[in-house]
Structure 1
């Protein structure tokens, strides 16, 4: 991630990518969809804070403005480790232009899903990927991701994508409880 953030793309290549805020705006309306069509099994904490989460998530898409190459779906299964300890990031169909810290945030959520003992708060405070990110932007995006994962978790799992569907619940939990 550091290499991607440090290596600027030519301006014409960057301009050819869709803007991340435009790509995620409708996806980030999970809390709105849950308000319109409530879920009886919504986590009690999320139910009690639903209005706050929806309000916080409303600014998330705009918080992701930026001029960096963003993978958008970065998680462990999209990273291949090479024999020399390097990494190759694969599966780029959603690549966009946006905030440099978004991919690092999705990796943190994925790390927490794999290991709930993972100190994501320390990573947010200490990792250079988040140095330029405003705390309120991170909070807004976490709220939006929680809404997305919570809304997605109630859809029936699609057999071809079962691993993704089965992890939406834990991803939502981390995003709202952080």
Structure 2
């Protein structure tokens, strides 16, 4: 009886932990975008230029478009973005597949940044930057940067281990009562 109970718990634990492994594999699978954007800082000051670098090692010499857009609800006309005078700019990657540029935002809030090819297909994840006023108010205040990590796989593993522990305790109590 105890062997059956332990076998059932092991199968249950494997079933609970398998989706967490699959979810983690999906985040880092072969479908990743070829470009990555790095910023001097993800919290920028309104009206001041900020720098960013785009790296696409497999696309050396290609022409790409970087687009920066206000991410808030109902963007007003004065919430413009200037990437060399426009909200989107075409850039040419060097022989290493990198290019650097600057941008300026005119209003506090969150902005999205993404790289596209000539056909409008995305080449990078969507990145978020936060614009604050010079004093750090209105629209954010230099908090911790968002890394984009998720804790779901860890929560699933923790739940599975909790169920395994409860099952083990129940099995030991049943064994003690019979013995």
Question: Normalising by structure 1, what TM-score?
Answer: 0.21
Question: Normalising by structure 2, what TM-score?
Answer: 0.20
Which has the greater radius of gyration? 2
Return the structure number with greater strand share.
Answer: 2
Return the structure number with greater helix share.
Answer: 1
